[in-house]
Amino acid sequence: MGPFWGCSGFPDCRTSFNDVDSKPSEDMDEHYRCPLCTRQLVKANKEKGDYWFCSGYSKGCKVTLPDQDGVPEAAYQCQKCSSLLVKRSGKNGVFWGCGDYPKCTASYNDDDNRPKF
């Protein structure tokens, strides 16, 4: 279920902590959470590719994100319908459009490689 800290006494000791900024923590690292359902993201095996997928994939959440230097690439939600946004190029330049287009036609200007809400 992603990076974590485990007890050196495993299997007798099953204490574990989440990895946040390379330190053990009870908090969750938001970089490793699915942007839609908030389940934990899992890094795919190298032979399958360099990406992350939602641990709820078998339960219907089909989110996959490219790997960016060992962490999932940043993802943004459409403020109109909550689908993931996709970075696109159009006649007026780069913008962020809803991934559920054409059902949702929301779009956002690009602001330093992020959608401007």
Structural contact between residues 87 and 94, judged by C-beta atoms closer than 8 angstroms: yes
Per-residue confidence (pLDDT) for residue 28, from 0 to 100: 66
Q: Is there a single domain that holds both residue 58 and residue 104?
A: no
User: What's the total number of domains in the chain?
Assistant: 2
Q: Can you give the residue range of the structural domain that contains 92?
A: 76-117
Q: Give the residue among 59, 60, 42 at the shortest CA–CA distance from 51.
A: 42
Per-residue confidence (pLDDT) for residue 26, from 0 to 100: 83
Q: Is there a single domain that holds both residue 110 and residue 92?
A: yes
The rounded distance, in Å, linking the Cα atoms of 98 and 102 is 8
Structural contact between residues 98 and 105, judged by C-beta atoms closer than 8 angstroms: yes
Query: How does pLDDT run across 51-109, given as a tens digit for each residue?
Result: 999 999 999 999 999 999 888 998 999 999 999 999 999 999 999 999 999 999 999 99
**Is the predicted pLDDT of residue 1 greater than 60, yes or no?**
no
The rounded distance, in Å, linking the Cα atoms of 53 and 114 is 21
Q: Which is more confidently placed, 21 or 58?
A: 58
The structure's pTM equals 0.67
